[in-house]
Structure 1
Amino acid sequence: MSAAIELLRPDLRGFAGYRSARGEAMRGDVWLNANESAWPNPGDAGGDANRYPEPQPVVLRAALAALYGCKPDQLLVGRGSDEAIDLLVRALCRPGIDAVLATPPVFGMYAVSARLQGAPLLEVPLRDTDAGFELDGEALLAAAVQGNARIVFLCSPSNPTGGAIPLALIAEIAARLAGRALVVVDEAYAEFDSQASATALLASCPNLAVLRTLSKAHALAAARIGCVIADAGLIAALRACQAPYPVPAPCAALALAALAPDVLATTRARVDLVVAERERMRLALAGLPGVRRVYASAGNFLLLRFADAGAALASLRAEGVVVRDQRAVAGLDDALRITIGTAAENERVLTALRAARSTP
């Protein structure tokens, strides 16, 4: 039994899950095994939506594995990173016993999934330093051991703070929690960061998993295509816990089109543009009156503190600009998160915030 499998809930080790009709390797041209309609829907232009899709599309899985530098059997495709987070918590955490650890301020789905599973939630807040929000590795390790953490979520680059966690620290945390917890690195914004992916650590850290998504840099938020990359045994166990047909065929086709070489080249050029605009906006925003701080970011967004965040938000809305209000988040009661848009959209942000200071 692999080290990753030993972290599964004991009652799910060896769990086969549901065997769907499409999950069986069969050949034929008259398909009467899944109780599907023999006729396509009249409104279906493609004419094939009457058939269930592949549970794990082979070609898409191979393309994603090539993109992320892993083997296909190390990767599970699902409905964005959100499904992967939920699957991991349900598969590894026994209600009331095995805890989930997160590092706020951070993406809220880790806490939501823990609560839905009845898993205790441990929180080790990031430290707000002169260099930005940073992870306290020793505090995290102590809390994980004392609180019986089964999963440790590390968001890198972190949402909403924008900070990235050094790979050396991730490797140290995984090594010191070996046999105790799965360390999950959420890399939803990794394309905007110059640091290498934590997938480079998988060979030496069997208790590591990495989340990736096509929602952000690849501009496919509506398609809901994400994946978890981990030990092949853990991936197989997660598939047994997953719904029978998690990847709609139109979404799989769209994802495959997005992974074509020429499309990937355009995506990379747009990522470079976002990174350049991020730096331009960071400097421009930092020079505005009323802006207390602009945090450096490795994502496609910036976190700002304001002297009057409410007034800044009102001015942005008056200009038709919608940003993320962070004031309800602990430690961010004066903060807004602003996504990097096109150059023209970014100029509207600057115009609105200048107006906020000039209004009596």
Structure 2
Amino acid sequence: MSAAADTLRPASNPLLLVREDLRDFAGYQSARSQRLQGTVWLNANESPWNNDADHEGALRRYPDPQPQALRNALSELYGCAPGQLLAGRGSDEGIDLLVRAVCRPGGDAVLVTTPTFGMYAVSARLHGTRVVDVPLVESPQGWTCDFAAIAAAVRREGVKLVFLCSPGNPTGTLLPLEDIASLAREVGGQALVVVDEAYLEYADAPSAIGLLPGQRNVVVLRTLSKAHALAAARIGSVIADADLIDLLRRCQAPYPLPAACTAQALQALAPTARELTAARVAAIRSERDALQSALSALTGVRRAYDSRANFVLARFDDAQAAFDSLLATGVVVRDMRAAPGLGDALRISLGTPEQNRQVLSALAGSVS
């Protein structure tokens, strides 16, 4: 297709949703971004000697901004092409890059569906970008997303980024993939639909990555922090149209991935490590369902929601008493009472079977 024809079909080209002043932005060209060959490297102002603590001599050199081995491993894990993936410092960097690259400060808006992950709104507000909220709807069946209201808000409010968390944090709700696809089609020329799948491994469900071939305005966020137990390594991925990934790479900091973290991630993505991860994810699913059922049976627990993530959200008659009782036994959970609509709620991450029993034992005394 010619460039002129592509311009006439904005939904086909996500770059037309990017800030106009950044579409040709070259970004910072670091010494490692230049693919040069040599044996004496004097182009990055690095020390010619190792630090005494660096016994292997690996730390005095700047790392590859996007290590190909890591991109290959992550793209194989998620089922996308390496050119569709940008690795970075957790999902947080991906969120921040998208807001800065797409939204004009003071001119555009992002849309969130509260209660949801707080960093979407934080990144937007730090960038001077309006936040439009289309809250999730609570019903006896759980939490649902009002996709029609989201589409209307995109048109009405000048929204450029729609952030959907699936499974949701803190709700644990998995959004229907067909509804995400329909939304992406409806707002194709107006907004990117960003699906944060930080907890998808626990849902045992297909990824929105499968929508990319037919819908170029879909963006997916993934992370190794949760199921792969690498929270401290800070390895996240943005998966999207290859042209959009190329632009985000140009907006990224010069050396986002510490070499030690890359090495740890590659070890964690080896076949034997992935087999162990899969077994532990299955164990978490089983423990999650048992915890949700046990919490629902406790007097004083108003509701424990079904979850497709590695946590359970619960409402209490006296959330403060429940929180204090857990702390008294050394158990720290997330107090959600400051979140919109969750003034009586706590979010309980799944631990080991023994730790989960400790949660139930502490709550049995405080809420009965």
TM category (shorter chain) comes to over 0.9
| Structure 2 Cα separation of the partners of residues 292 and 234 of structure 1 | 45
Counterpart residue type for residue 316 of structure 2:
F
1:38 corresponding residue in structure 2 = 48
Q: CA deviation at 1:97?
A: 1.0
Q: 2:139 aligns with which of 124, 129, 133?
A: 129
1:260 corresponding residue in structure 2 = 270
| Counterpart check, 1:272 vs 2:282 | yes
| Structure 2 Cα separation of the partners of residues 195 and 35 of structure 1 | 47
| Counterpart check, 1:71 vs 2:81 | yes
| Counterpart check, 1:318 vs 2:328 | yes
| Structure 1 Cα separation of the partners of residues 299 and 55 of structure 2 | 55
Q: CA deviation at 1:194?
A: 2.3
Q: 1:340 aligns with which of 341, 347, 350?
A: 350
Aligned-partner SS, 2:264: helix
Q: Deviations over 1:141-186 (max 9, x none)?
A: 1111100100000000000000011100000000000110000000
| Structure 2 Cα separation of the partners of residues 284 and 349 of structure 1 | 10
1:355 corresponding residue in structure 2 = 365
Task: Please give the TM-score of this superposition, normalised by the length of structure 2.
Answer: 0.96
2:178 corresponding residue in structure 1 = 168
Unaligned segments of structure 2, at least 5 residues: 4-11
| Structure 2 Cα separation of the partners of residues 90 and 99 of structure 1 | 11
| Counterpart check, 1:186 vs 2:205 | no
Q: Deviations over 1:26-51 (max 9, x none)?
A: 11111000000011100113321000
| Structure 2 Cα separation of the partners of residues 189 and 239 of structure 1 | 24
2:150 corresponding residue in structure 1 = 140
1:72-87 mapped onto 2 (5 Å cutoff)? 72-87=82-97
Aligned-partner SS, 2:116: coil
Q: Deviations over 1:215-243 (max 9, x none)?
A: 00000000000010000000000001000
Q: 1:52 aligns with which of 62, 77, 97?
A: 62
| Structure 2 Cα separation of the partners of residues 317 and 45 of structure 1 | 42
Q: 1:18 aligns with which of 28, 31, 40?
A: 28
Aligned-partner SS, 2:219: strand
| Structure 2 Cα separation of the partners of residues 63 and 353 of structure 1 | 42
1:110 corresponding residue in structure 2 = 120
Q: Deviations over 1:244-301 (max 9, x none)?
A: 0000000000000000000000000000000000011111111111001010001000
| Structure 2 Cα separation of the partners of residues 116 and 4 of structure 1 | 24
2:102 corresponding residue in structure 1 = 92
1:119 corresponding residue in structure 2 = 129
Task: Please give the TM-score of this superposition, normalised by the length of structure 1.
Answer: 0.98
Query: Percent identical across equivalent pairs?
Result: 58
Counterpart residue type for residue 63 of structure 1:
A
Runs of 4+ in 1 over 2 A off after TM superposition: none
Q: Deviations over 1:29-82 (max 9, x none)?
A: 110000000111001133210000000000000000000000000000000000
| Counterpart check, 1:216 vs 2:226 | yes
Aligned-partner SS, 2:276: helix
2:8 corresponding residue in structure 1 = none
Q: 2:252 aligns with which of 220, 242, 259?
A: 242
Counterpart residue type for residue 129 of structure 2:
A
Aligned-partner SS, 2:167: coil
Aligned-partner SS, 1:38: coil
| Structure 2 Cα separation of the partners of residues 186 and 339 of structure 1 | 18
1:302 corresponding residue in structure 2 = 312
Q: 1:198 aligns with which of 190, 208, 227?
A: 208
Bigger mean CA offset, 43-52 vs 287-296: 43-52
Q: Deviations over 1:331-353 (max 9, x none)?
A: 00000000011000001100100
| Structure 2 Cα separation of the partners of residues 251 and 43 of structure 1 | 17
Counterpart residue type for residue 315 of structure 2:
R
| Structure 1 Cα separation of the partners of residues 170 and 315 of structure 2 | 12
Aligned-partner SS, 2:367: helix
| Structure 2 Cα separation of the partners of residues 145 and 349 of structure 1 | 45
| Structure 1 Cα separation of the partners of residues 205 and 57 of structure 2 | 44
Contact 2:134/2:149, CA 8 A, preserved across alignment = yes
| Structure 2 Cα separation of the partners of residues 261 and 43 of structure 1 | 31
Contact 2:64/2:255, CA 8 A, preserved across alignment = yes
| Structure 1 Cα separation of the partners of residues 300 and 54 of structure 2 | 54
Contact 2:301/2:367, CA 8 A, preserved across alignment = no
| Structure 1 Cα separation of the partners of residues 340 and 190 of structure 2 | 29
Q: CA deviation at 1:310?
A: 0.5
Counterpart residue type for residue 36 of structure 1:
E
